[in-house]
Structure formats: C-alpha cells, structure tokens
Amino acid sequence: MTTSTTSDDLAGLLLRRRQSVYVPEGTARSAETDAAVVVLEAELADRGHLLTGPLRRALTALGPADLAATGRKLLADVDALMGSDRTHTPLFARFPDEIPYQHAYDRFTATVVAHLAAQPHQPCMNCAGTKAPVRALAPCAHLLCADCHRKEQDWGCCDECCVWYACPICEQRYETDGPTDPWLDSGAGLGGDGGPVLRALRLAEPGEAAAELAALLARRTPLSPQDHDDLVLLLGHTDRAHAADWLPASIPLRENKALALAPLLDLPETRALVGRYADTATDVLRILVVRSGGDPDLLEPPRLRGLPRPVRRELLGLLDRLDFARLAEDMARHPRAWKRVGELLHPFEGAHRHARVALAFAVLRETRLDDGALGEVLLTEAARHDGVRLAGDRLRVVTWQGRVEEALGRWDTTAAAGLLRARPGELLRRLDLLLARSGSATLPEPVGEALAHALPRTAPGPLLGAYGQLRIRSVPWHRRVFFPRGRVTKAYAVEDHRPPLPSRVAGRAAELIEAEAVRRLTAREGERYDVAVLDASLADLPVPFAERASAASLVAVPRGSSLPMPADSETVRLFLHWTQPKGTRVDLDLSVALYDGLWRFIGHCDYTHLEYAGGAARHSGDLTSAPAPHGATEYLDLDLPRLASTGVRFVVPAVISYNDVPFDELPDAFAGFMAVKGKERAVYDPRTVRQRFDLGGDAKLRVPMIVDLRTRHAWWADVTLATAGIDHDVWRYRKQIGRLGNDLLDTFQPRGRATLWDLACWTAAARTDGEVYVRGRGHVLWGYRRAADEPRADFALRIRDGWEPDVLRAEPALAGRRTLLALLHGELAGAQDVASGTAYRLYPGPVDAAPLERITAGDLAAWLAPVG
C-alpha cells in the first residue's frame, strides 16, 4: 500500500480514527519553533486537545515553514472533527508568522488550570495515563502524573545547592532555590464536577493508514457511512497494480469486496484477482455497479458502463463456474439490474461456451425457446439441473427460497428445517418462526439438529440477531418496530400478534448460541490476555445494526443505546448549523417536542415558541436562510431539572427542513449537543461538544435521540420521519413524533438485541487466562477468576449476570500484562503500564495513547466469525 499520509484527507482520517497526527521529519529546532509550538498548544487546548510528548518533540524539530503548514492543517482538522471550523476564527490569525508568545503562554496555562479544576482526571502528556495525581508543572503547565515526574526529575548535587528540574514534555530546565514541589497551583486533586477530559493527540506511526485499511476490509458487519467513506479514501491511496500485495486473504463483507475489486477489473495484471474473491453473482453485480460510479448497496444502481471484450470474457467465465441454483436465485433478487448486465455481457453469443450463464439469463428474461442452436443449448443445459422446467415455450426455475416458503406455509417445520440447514444464516434469521410453528414446549428435535449443524457455520450478524430476539421472545410484545434497509433510517411499527415462545424453548436455543459464541472466541487464533477490565454500562449499548444508514457522528453510538445525560449543574445546549446551496434558500429549524409519562403532548420549543415554562427550554431565534460562506446556526437550551418539574417526562429533539429541502442537497449540515454551565453565552465551544452528527439523505425531519427525564438517560434513535407537503414544523408532526418515540422506547428498553456487554463478557471469558474485572457495580472493581474445570460459557454467565465476585479491588493490576479493555469512557488508572493488548471504548480518553490496539464495536462482533 502506498501510505501517502501527507494528503489532507488521510491526515483528517488518522486524527478522527486514531487521534494520531502525521509529522514530517525535521531537524531544524530553534527558539522560534519552540515559541510557535507554545502557540499551537494554546490553540489546541482551546479546542480540548493536548499534544503528547513524542508529538510535541516532532513538531519542535520542524522548520518554520513546515511547522506553519503542519500546525494550520492540524488546527483545521481538529476544527472539522469538532464542527467548529464553520464558525471559529483563530485568535492568532497569522500563526506562526507573528507569535504573541507570552499571551499564548498565559492562555495555555489558564486553559489547563481551568480544565484541572473542573475535572482532575486529565491525561498525562508523557504517558497518557490518568493515574492520580495528574498535575500541571510550573511554569510551563504541561500535565504530568506523579509517577512520570519521579522518573524524569533530575536533581542537582545536594539538597543545599541550587537545584533544577526538567519537564519531559518541552524539555525545559527550571532552576529553583532548593528542594521544591514543582507543581503549578491549579486546584487539581480538589475534586471536580465532571467536566470534559482533554483529548490526547499522539504521533502517527508508519503504516497506520495501512492498518486502518486492513481493519476495515476485515469487518464482518455492515459499515456506517463514515466507515464506508473512509474505506473509499484509503483504497484510493493504494497501489492498484500491486493489489495482490495488500489485499487480505479474504474480504468477508461483500460490499467491501466490491469497493476493493471494482478498480482492478480493468487492469490486465489484476483482473484475475476478481475471480479469486467474487464467489456469487451478486458480487459481480456489485462490482459492476461500483465500477459505474454507484454504491455497492444496490439500492439505486446507476446506468452501467460498457465492458471491453476481455472483461466480458472474464466475467462470463466467473459466472459460469457458479452453482446454477444460486446463480438463478441471485439474479432474481435484482432482475432489472441483471437485465442491464445481460445487455453488456451478451450471454447468448457463443452460448455453448457459457451454457450455464445463458440458461440463467434465459430464465430471467423469460426468453422464448425456438428450434435453433440457442434453444438446443438451453434445453440441454436445463436437463442437467433440478428445479428447471419447461412451461410452454419458456423455462422456469423453482428456487430454494420458494421451497422454504412452501414448507413454512403448510407449517411443515421438519421439511423447512431440513432445507434451512443448508444455509445457516437463513436458518438463524427464521429460527423464531420455526420454533413458533413447531408448537413444541421443548426444542424440537428436527430444529435442534438443524441448529447444531448450522451454528458453527453462521456469520456473526445472524447469530447475534437470533440471540437478541430469543432473550425476549418468552415475553409478550405490544408493538414490533422494523428498520427497513435504505439510505436513511426509517422505522415503522405494527401490532405484535405473535404468541410468546415457551421460556424453555427460547432459553435453550439462546444457550446454544451463547455456547457457540464462546467456543468460537476460545478457538480463534489471536492474542490471549492476562487480565480484562469491562464496563457493566456496556449493557446499555446494543451491537450496531442498520449501520448503512447511520449518521456520520463524532461518537459512533449504536442505535438504541442508553447514555447518561449531563449533570444537574449543566445545561444541555442543542445546536444546528447548515449552509444552503447557491441559488436555493434553505430554512432548517431546531425544535423539541415535550411529552408526559403517557406520551401525551404537553408543549414544544421552536421558532414559534422561543421559551417554554419560563426558560426551562429556550430557543436562540429563527434563521430562515444560510448563505455561504458562514451559513447559519441555531441553539436550543434545555434545563433538564426545570423541565422535569413542569411535568415533562420525554424530550424529543428534532431537526426539520421547513421549506422541504432534503438534507442531502445541502453542502454542509450538522447538529448535536453540548453541556454548558447555566446560562453561558451561546458560542460554539468545541471543548463542551458531547455529540455531533451530520444531516444527510433524502429526508426532511430527523429525530436524533429521546431523553427520559425520569432516568436522566438519552436513547440514541438516529431515525427520520416521513413528511408531506411544505412548511414543516414540530407542532404539525407532534402526534407522529410521539408515536415514534413510544414505539422506539418499547423496542429499545427490553433490550431485544445482543449488546456490547454480551460480546465483552464472552470475549473476556474465552480469551482471558487471569482475572476479569468489572467496573460500574459499586465503588470497587468486581473480580472473577475461572476455576480450572469451569466451562468458559459458565464463566461468561457469572460475569455477565453479576454473580458473587471472587475478589474486590480498588484498581486492577495491569502493569506489564497483556490486557483486554472494553469501556464506555476511555479512562482507566494504570492503562499506560500494560505490556500490550486490545481496547474498545465508546468515548475517547487517555487509554487511546496506551500501548493497546484500538478496536471498534464492529471488530468485536467480527471476532465471532466461524472457526474450523
């Protein structure tokens, strides 16, 4: 792979995904660059970011011109990441050509002191850990933990002499009048009220872009739009002529496969690779769609580009090697697109060379047979395949799907299970229906046998989907919510008339799935761990689903997650920013709909009602256009305790396009929320941003979350609502929003999906040979140790269900050990001392700079891939 990490887009990608910064080599350190880096530190601190020691030293080694370019780009990327580039104007507009050094020095110091006073658990700039106490050195204000200070201090000859100490971050030496504590009087360690934690930026290592590409290509769950765009960007920086050198042995996700292979189809030296990876007809269709500028999701196939003769021969040969039944079935799923492909491939020319492909197209096109050579070839080939019959002068195929539907239609679960065992994923998707139609009070033998055969072969998605459903199918539901596949997430609900499954049936099937998950994780080759630390709050985060239509966001929160809202002392400030296209006026509105505990509408706050309940909700005012370059921004402040005191239970924010312009027609549009103190002036402060998400898709009304004031939690929804007509506002859609909120919470609250907590417990039990610690069950960690003869599935059950712990500890012993972390917030004492390991976290924090491999929720699910 060609790691052209000097490109602007790749630099932003590494910052967003890894909090790492690429810095070119330099050997021109000078007083001027030292001063310029101080200014850069002050600017970054204003944005809630810190430079770690290696990154700072790399920057100070640059010449003035390189430092200016690198610094400007870093600030621009941080602003873009936090959403502040649209409105933020740097204090030092001519940085670093003119450097008000002392002003920047004082400003950086004041910013660090303010952060320490609000939240003492900030990252150490030397080791990136959060071991207490983390203090600011005087006078440079660089954050250092006590352990790093003891390691780095360099005292003079004796206690009576003049002594000095050195800051390991900026490498400055400071003289003192004698033995002294070098800490700045910052108020750190006096307690805090939960302010934001600064994000530590680290120096990018060679090959990080290649590592991100490999991780995305290895994913087994659908990519979010942001991950999709990142993959396209990374693939654009690869050496296509030498694709065999960087392509992995397999690409599990078929959409990823199409993105990687489409550019190789037209290169003679790489064309053969397409046949090595594409093993279904739909793979071929996706590749042709991507080659023509479309998206591999096949939702809106573009007009396909023509194919040169060598490419046609390659694809016809590839298709002819496929099983005919699967080939015909795949074509039937996308008939219009395949008919267009047939116009490009000319399958009837020389049909005797590719008779199987010709037969599949004849069935698809309902081609009339004649007495010519083509008819003879087609009839001869049809005789070789079961299920192909002649109806008049046309050929028909009875598909596998048709036989399954027929068996289920007559409630013949034995026949249906026999058919479904051949396709493990389909069996797991229909397991609920099979169990319901069997009418048995125990797990039916035919279904049990089919399940035992299918489980070791099932992909992670169907496995986790079936497990989540089975956990709640013994309880009656009132409404079922569906999220149909599409470019934007829509939800619709129907009454659930299904009788609940017997608890023994659902429970036994779920146990089999859980045991299979632990078996796979135990058998999979990879790193074993000496210790694991898990957050019990991961039970509030479901495994990501419907990711293809998720909004690109600052924090990748899975839909259906329940997350705590800011503390009582803080106001939730919603924000909306947009820019309209040239020649089109666009009026977006930021609004909230308010409901009581029975989901009865009791009020709203928007441009028509700027205040609710004397300021419990307050709108900043209506902007009706957003011309470039500045656009428009609206704010809406929510005082959650005051709202609760007025009888409000549910708060539903909404972003609405008043004049019916779809979000995807806007060059720039995003929203989110901040946590601010009281009635602070409405400025866009990136340090306080808790979530930011893009507005996109063919939609005019988006509901990002639902806030429950009784529990002080927000349920991440990320759904759109259908609209009609023009002049949209929240009052007009109050009933639809209320029904949507009620249905979504009825779906999210029972936790009818596998969670990241399930995945974390299975992984820790299967791959950890020492202690497993759980935090979030009190003020201490609950520790578990597996007995020598204890099955790992039983060990996972003890951890997940909160059985009596084997040991209680104030903090885990991580020093020098291989460690697995699965955390909600990336903060953990001692993380910098681990030897190696793996970390998942939802929110960034100091553990990002620890010597651990960062993984995503999708990577956790991918570890459940079939083994053996």
Of 82, 193, 87, the closest CA to residue 691 belongs to 82
With respect to residue 297, please indicate whether it lies within any of the assigned structural domains: yes
**Average pLDDT in the 215-243 region?**
87
Tokens linked to 151? 């390691």
Residue 104 has pLDDT above 70, yes or no: no
Residues 732 and 804 in one domain: no
Tell me which range, 4-8, 214-218, 450-454, is most confidently predicted by mean pLDDT: 450-454
Tokens linked to 460? 């992670």
Residue 553 has pLDDT above 60, yes or no: yes
Q: pLDDT of 801-850, one tens digit each?
A: 999 999 999 989 899 999 999 999 988 888 888 889 999 999 888 888 78
Residue 172, pLDDT score: 67
Domain end marker among 747, 778, 804: 747
> Which of 28-42, 175-189, 765-779 comes out lowest in average pLDDT?
175-189
Rounded to the nearest angstrom, the gap between the alpha carbon of residue 118 and the centroid of all alpha carbons in its chain is: 29
**Average pLDDT in the 325-338 region?**
93
Residue 657, pLDDT score: 95
**Element at 492 (helix H, strand E):** strand 492-495
> Which of 307-311, 494-498, 653-657, 669-673 comes out lowest in average pLDDT?
494-498
Residue 792 has, within 13 A of its CA and on its CB side, a CA count of 21
Residue 89, pLDDT score: 28
Residues 257 and 324 in one domain: yes
Residue 738 has pLDDT above 60, yes or no: yes
Of 161, 185, 182, the closest CA to residue 173 belongs to 182
Task: Report which of residues 411 and 568 the model is more confident about.
Answer: 411
**Average pLDDT in the 544-552 region?**
78
Residues 563 and 639 in one domain: yes
Residue 868, pLDDT score: 66
Residue 135 has pLDDT above 80, yes or no: no
Residues 687 and 769 in one domain: no
Strands 588-595 and 601-605: antiparallel
Give the DSSP letter string of 371-386: SSHHHHHHHHHHTTST
With respect to residue 420, please indicate whether it lies within any of the assigned structural domains: no
Residue 174 has, within 13 A of its CA and on its CB side, a CA count of 20
**Average pLDDT in the 286-293 region?**
95
Prior bond of 629 cis (ω within 30°): yes
Residues 52 and 198 in one domain: yes
Residues 332 and 354 in one domain: yes
Give this prediction's pTM: 0.77
Answer for the pair 768, 530: CB distance below 8 angstroms, yes or no.
yes
Residue 733 has pLDDT above 90, yes or no: yes
Answer for the pair 746, 481: CB distance below 8 angstroms, yes or no.
yes
Q: What mean pLDDT, rounded, does the chain reach? A: 85
Of 17, 555, 553, 487, the closest CA to residue 233 belongs to 17
Of 728, 736, 706, 729, the closest CA to residue 718 belongs to 706
Residue 234 has, within 13 A of its CA and on its CB side, a CA count of 26
> Which of 324-328, 558-562, 677-681 comes out lowest in average pLDDT?
677-681
Residue 566, pLDDT score: 80
**Average pLDDT in the 326-332 region?**
93
Using only C-alpha atoms, the chain has a radius of gyration, in whole angstroms, of 30
Q: pLDDT of 237-269, one tens digit each?
A: 889 888 889 999 989 889 999 999 999 998 888
Sorted by sequence, the CB contacts under 8 Å of residue 191 that are 6+ apart come out as 120
Residue 195, pLDDT score: 55
- Residue 95 pLDDT level (bands cut at 50, 70, 90): very low
Work out the end-to-end distance of the chain between its first and last CA atoms, rounded to an integer number of angstroms. Answer: 30
With respect to residue 494, please indicate whether it lies within any of the assigned structural domains: no
Tokens linked to 807? 């040991």
With respect to residue 478, please indicate whether it lies within any of the assigned structural domains: no
Task: Report which of residues 653 and 185 the model is more confident about.
Answer: 653
- Residue 150 pLDDT level (bands cut at 50, 70, 90): low
Residue 665, pLDDT score: 93
Residue 190, pLDDT score: 32
> Which of 68-77, 470-479, 499-508, 662-671 comes out lowest in average pLDDT?
470-479
Cα–Cα dist 122/607, whole Å? 39
Residue 547 has pLDDT above 80, yes or no: no
**Average pLDDT in the 397-426 region?**
91
Q: In 3-state terms, what secondary structure has residue 773?
A: strand
> 88 — phi, psi (to 5°)?
-80, 130
Domain end marker among 747, 779, 810: 747
- Residue 715 pLDDT level (bands cut at 50, 70, 90): very high
Give the DSSP letter string of 230-298: HHHHHHHTS-GGGHHHHS-S---SHHHHHHHHGGGTT-TTTHHHHHHH--SHHHHHHHHHHHTT--TT-
Q: The domain containing residue 829 runs over which residues?
A: 529-539+754-862
Residue 189, pLDDT score: 35
Residues 304 and 183 in one domain: no
Cα–Cα dist 442/653, whole Å? 45
Residues 36 and 183 in one domain: yes
Answer for the pair 462, 436: CB distance below 8 angstroms, yes or no.
no
Residue 509, pLDDT score: 94
Residues 759 and 641 in one domain: no
Answer for the pair 52, 20: CB distance below 8 angstroms, yes or no.
no
Residue 293, pLDDT score: 92
> Which of 160-169, 229-238, 470-479 comes out lowest in average pLDDT?
160-169
For residue 175, the cross-strand partners are: 164
Residue 191 has pLDDT above 90, yes or no: no
Query: What one-letter code names the amino acid at 442?
Result: T
- Residue 475 pLDDT level (bands cut at 50, 70, 90): confident
Residue 700, pLDDT score: 94
Task: Report which of residues 5 and 641 the model is more confident about.
Answer: 641
Residue 793 has pLDDT above 90, yes or no: yes
Tell me which range, 155-164, 338-347, 676-685, is most confidently predicted by mean pLDDT: 338-347
**Element at 672 (helix H, strand E):** strand 668-677
Prior bond of 641 cis (ω within 30°): no
Query: What one-letter code names the amino acid at 602?
Result: I
Residue 88 has pLDDT above 80, yes or no: no
Task: Report which of residues 519 and 46 the model is more confident about.
Answer: 519
> How many separate domains does the chain show?
4
**Average pLDDT in the 32-50 region?**
84
Residue 762 has pLDDT above 90, yes or no: yes
With respect to residue 245, please indicate whether it lies within any of the assigned structural domains: no
Task: Report which of residues 159 and 305 the model is more confident about.
Answer: 305
With respect to residue 465, please indicate whether it lies within any of the assigned structural domains: no
- Residue 477 pLDDT level (bands cut at 50, 70, 90): confident
What CATH number has the domain bearing residue 724? 2.60.60.30
Domain end marker among 688, 718, 747: 747
Q: What is the DSSP letter of 777?
A: S
Answer for the pair 674, 689: CB distance below 8 angstroms, yes or no.
yes
Residue 686 has pLDDT above 90, yes or no: no
Q: pLDDT of 339-384, one tens digit each?
A: 999 999 999 988 899 999 999 999 999 999 887 888 889 999 999 9
With respect to residue 498, please indicate whether it lies within any of the assigned structural domains: no
Residues 647 and 796 in one domain: no
Q: What is the DSSP letter of 741?
A: H
Residue 199, pLDDT score: 75
Residue 311 has pLDDT above 70, yes or no: yes
With respect to residue 212, please indicate whether it lies within any of the assigned structural domains: no
Query: What one-letter code names the amino acid at 434?
Result: L
Residues 58 and 30 in one domain: yes
Residue 36, pLDDT score: 85
Residues 761 and 739 in one domain: no
Query: What one-letter code names the amino acid at 152?
Result: E
> Which of 26-35, 78-87, 661-670, 836-845 comes out lowest in average pLDDT?
78-87
